[in-house]
Structure 1
Amino acid sequence: MTAQDSATRQLAVAPRQATASGTVHAALGVASFSLTFPATAWSLTGFGPWSATGLRGALAGLLAVLYLAAVRAPLPRRRHWPGLLVVSGGCVLGFPLLTTLALRTSSTAHSAVVIGMLPLATAAVAALRTGRRPSGAFWAASIAGAAAVLAFTLVQSHGRPTVADLYLFVALLVCAAGYAEGGRLSEDLPGAQVIAWAVVAALPVTLLTAVLGLGAEPVRLGAKALAGLAYTAAVSQLGGLVLWYRGLAAIGVPRASQLQLAQPLLTLVWSVLLLGEHLPAAAPVTAVVVLVCIAVTQRARA
């Protein structure tokens, strides 16, 4: 084998390795997100929805400040801040608050399945924002997966959307915008710094929300409440998003987002194991359909 052949082979292998690494990072992010709703339900056993949301963001913000100081991260450039504010508003403020409000009256299993529409919404927002157009096979599989999740949701709610469903629908829209914008920024900034700066940007709002919430809502400290709060702050709001944005940067927002089709089904498992909720009979069938759709989206070319 000549030196030129060896170099050509190395160049061919590098993109495959980057894709594999990106897929692993995105999948780990999805796995960490799948515990967010059960952890939020635990936090609500001791805190009100506004207190839980404010404390979650404030604690994550403090961790982000320590991280940025430790790596001596430079301030983002002026052109980065509009996108960071979109990430902050969607992923740090809007999604946590709206889903926490929904979980007061909706089960974690039902809420997780409604949010199953998030991958399709994220792919659509990313296509509009970046101008990149995934293939027809990608869109067909994405729509099929979203349709399976939506059908499952309607069956479980007997075709009657609730106020909690409205909260969840708005939550998935603002989160999709935050994911798409964060994925775009991760092509120019390290993924860890994207979410860290977004969390820090929201710190004044989350601190104020925490203070006002603690003053207006009852607090009943317990092991579950503290464990749930710690998980949502350290993992859901920061660590999981670091992995997620690394995956977005490596394999692209559309492909990475479709891995999230598995998230509602993982959350269903956690809701049974950790919260004692009932596993619907249709869940395994939906799981198979969704996994097939994920496989198609990962193989489809952009």
Structure 2
Amino acid sequence: MRAHDNVIDAEPVTASAVSRLWIPGAGLGFLGVLAFSFSLPANKLAVAGIDPLGVTVLRAAAAGVLAAGYLLAVRARLPRWSDLRDLGLSSLGVVIGFPLFSSLALTTSGSGHSAVILGLLPALTAVFAALVGGERLPRGFWLASGAGVLVLVGYLLVHQYLETGDLSVGIGDFWMLAAAASAGYGYAMGGRQAKVMGGARAISWSLVIVLPVSAPIAAVVFATQSFDFTTGVVIGMLYITVISQFLGFFAWYGGLARGGIARVGQLQQVQPLLTLAWAALILGEDFDPWTIVVGVAIAGLVWAAQRARFAAAPGVEAVVAAPDAAAAALRTEGQAIDVHAAH
């Protein structure tokens, strides 16, 4: 792991430059999607023996310790005061909001059912990328991504109805909607920071910032509550702590930084389908062969969204220009930015 992972050196904003940034961004983004695709089944395993608050604070504290170790190992500089706000807001979304709300949802809903609501996440990420990330998105992008959301949510709803005969809305659905909104906002804020400091550092500082709060609460919860540490619960907790909350973000934030928050975020349209596959393989939930057909259709719509004509938008300019300030500060210490650092 290089010290300045995913920080991109400045170059002119041209169509070829955007393409060169998108290709590695898509690769890193897909690795992140693959890592996150097992998060809901793993979380479902964890809440079988630990209550939602316990799952949230234990994973945040343990991942925070791992993040602190990483930052010490690479001798990371302290964030600038101007960066702390974005890092803190990102923490609210991906360290606190999504883990807590999704855990609450999974106490009453299956992981496959929850994937219905999570299908809205790519669209929410694109909206927040436009609102807080400053990315200008062309009409073709919105049409293709909107069609992808309609296909995905429509299929998931049909899948749910055929499996359960019920389309009623429960409290778990509202919790999952809150989780998706939290994640979309957290991705936008964290992805913006990853353009400056790299994906690994962005998630690590987000975890460390909340460590003074998460660690004491986790200690109290661990000391005062009883847990059922079955093999499944332990495996689930290990996965959502090490992969979902920490290492998966190395690739995901790196992809958002390189390829654009909204564009790479559309790769998550594939995530619910992968989640259904994991739920079938690990949790024994039914698997519909039509999932493959829908997956191919969604992949085509994601490709169409990426092929939409993009102008030299602020989001792209940020990717190629924002590191200048950070690079100047680092060079004062005699350090150089490695353009090709990868996870």
Q: Give the C-alpha shift of residue 65 in structure 1.
A: 0.4
Q: Judge conservation of contact 2:126–2:262 (CA < 8 Å) in 1.
A: yes
* Residue aligning to 1:267: 275
Q: Does 1:186 align with 2:194?
A: yes
Shift in alpha-carbon separation, 1:217–1:285, aligned structure 2, 3 A? farther
Q: Does 1:111 align with 2:119?
A: no
Counterpart code for 2:86: G
Q: State the SS of the aligned residue for 2:175.
A: helix
Q: Give the C-alpha shift of residue 44 in structure 1.
A: 2.1
Deviates more, 1:176-185 or 1:45-54: 45-54
Matches of 1:245 and 1:131, distance apart in 2? 17
* Residue aligning to 2:102: 99
After TM superposition, the score normalised by the length of structure 2 is 0.80
List alignment gaps of at least 5 residues for structure 1: 1-10
Question: What percentage of residue pairs aligned between the two structures are identical?
Answer: 39
After TM superposition, the score normalised by the length of structure 1 is 0.91
Deviates more, 1:232-241 or 1:129-138: 129-138
Q: 1:29 aligns with which of 19, 29, 32?
A: 32
Q: Does 1:128 align with 2:136?
A: no
Q: Give the C-alpha shift of residue 285 in structure 1.
A: 4.4
Q: Judge conservation of contact 1:54–1:210 (CA < 8 Å) in 2.
A: yes
Q: State the SS of the aligned residue for 2:119.
A: helix
* Residue aligning to 1:63: 66
Q: Does 1:166 align with 2:174?
A: yes
Q: State the SS of the aligned residue for 1:202.
A: helix
Deviates more, 1:12-21 or 1:195-204: 12-21
* Residue aligning to 2:79: 76
**Aligned residues: CA RMSD:** 1.9
* Residue aligning to 1:230: 238
* Residue aligning to 1:219: 227
Counterpart code for 1:29: G
**Aligned pairs, how many?**
292
Counterpart code for 2:106: L
Q: Judge conservation of contact 1:95–1:171 (CA < 8 Å) in 2.
A: yes
Deviates more, 1:183-192 or 1:246-255: 183-192
Q: How does 1:220-259 map to 2 (within 5 A)?
A: 220-259=228-267
Q: Give the C-alpha shift of residue 152 in structure 1.
A: 3.2
Encode CA deviations 1:2-31: one digit per residue, 9 max, x unaligned. Answer: xxxxxxxxx997764443221110000000
Matches of 2:211 and 2:267, distance apart in 1? 29
Matches of 2:66 and 2:20, distance apart in 1? 31
